[in-house]
Amino acid sequence: MSIAAAQKHSGRQDIAALASNENPDGCSPDVAAALANLNPSRYSDPACTVLRAVLSHKLGVPAERIVAGNGSEEMIAAVCRAVLRPGALAATVCPGFGLHEIEALANGAKVEKVGMRTDLNFDIPAIVAMLERAPVIFFLSSPSNPVGPALDRESLERILAAVTPQTLLVLDEAYFEFTDEDMPDGLAALSATDLSWVVLRTFSKAYGLAGLRVGYAVMSDARLARAVTAAKTPFNVNAAAQVAAVAALEDEAWMRSSVAALKRERARVADAVAAMGLSVARSQTNFLFIDVGWDSRAALNHFLSKAIIVKPWKEEGYETFIRVTIGTPSENDRFLDALRALAKREG
């Protein structure tokens, strides 16, 4: 739901938009400075040369294996278009990120899903069993959207050991910057294998550039990167997004300090939710996945009446879950007050 629609629905202006995992702190002030120098009359660089060079240096990966996208969402679509043929088996996790299924279906694949465990963690034996069936693509978000946990080192290693040469493993690390120190870096782990893989990252979450639409895919080999490049539109990343992403990368200190504060808020909100007796998944992201004990659409209406937007979950087995973004401390307090009121209501 948009902020404008929520304003209309609630009759209030002060909407706490906690449904899309945006950064409530905004972005580095260097982004605005970089945008001020932009010439909007010139086409953007179709190769995103400067951005890919900065990423190459930061990640230690040759630029020929990096493709920038109009958000990492575009890279999900381009990877599917590059490798899936009608009838191919694609696999992912449930609950999961919608586009991992939608873009595979759009390319004619059959999609099978592995459930998360009831304790809201990854079901490693089930993921391994699915990988042994050699799907053409396996999409996995770690940290998981919508649930929140990240694969630990041992789990990631068990998964990597089960990937066959027939499978392209797509590890979607949209929330990489929010993970704990002891969590593995998926890009480093995959780089040490000879598998076919894609790692997706984005400027939309930790870097606070969701509205500009820029993310990227890092791939195991240049041939795959060329196939993904051929599957995107030429000027896919606009000029504003390119300079903004470079400015954001050159001010990592801003991102790190924002992420540190959001992680402290995440712990505070999660503790308060658990203290209400509600089940909340361990999160390595900037959101929490909570069983509110009410139909999630009814819960959404309750939060909207208090000018708060949350994301109601609808997948089977999760119809009483909502996903809520960690906002500013005062937005989080408003959310907790509204959740307390909902938890007290008779069921």
Ligand X SMILES: *Cc1c(COP(=O)(O)O)cnc(C)c1O
Strand partners, 171: 140, 199
Residue with the closest Cβ to ligand X? 71
Q: Check if the beta carbon of residue 153 is closer than 8 Å to that of residue 184.
A: yes
Name the residue nearer to ligand X (CB basis): 164 or 233: 233
The two three-digit tokens of residue 311, written as one number: 């994301």
**Cβ atoms within 10 Å of 62's Cβ, excluding its own:** 12
Output 44 or 338, the one with its CB closest to ligand X.
44
**113 vs 306, beta carbon nearer ligand X:** 113
In the complex, the smallest distance separating the C-beta of residue 344 from ligand X, rounded to whole angstroms, is 31
C-beta of 177: minimal distance to ligand X in Å? 12
* Residue 240, token pair as written in the block: 């504003």
Q: How far is the CB of 321 from ligand X (least distance, A)?
A: 16
Pick from 262, 267, 318, 324: which is nearest to 294 by CA? 318
3-class DSSP state of 211: helix
- Write out the two tokens for 280: 């909340």
CB of 189: closest distance to ligand X in angstroms? 18
Residue placing its CB nearer to ligand X in the complex, 135 or 148: 148
Which spans of this chain sit near ligand X (rule: CB under 6 A)? Answer: 21, 71-73, 97, 141, 145, 172, 174, 202, 204, 210, 215
Nearer to ligand X, 23 or 167 (CB): 23
Helix residue spans in the chain (DSSP H):
3-10, 29-36, 49-59, 72-83, 98-106, 124-132, 153-162, 186-191, 222-230, 239-249, 252-275, 296-305, 329-344
> To the nearest whole angstrom, how small is the minimum distance from the Cβ of residue 287 to ligand X?
9
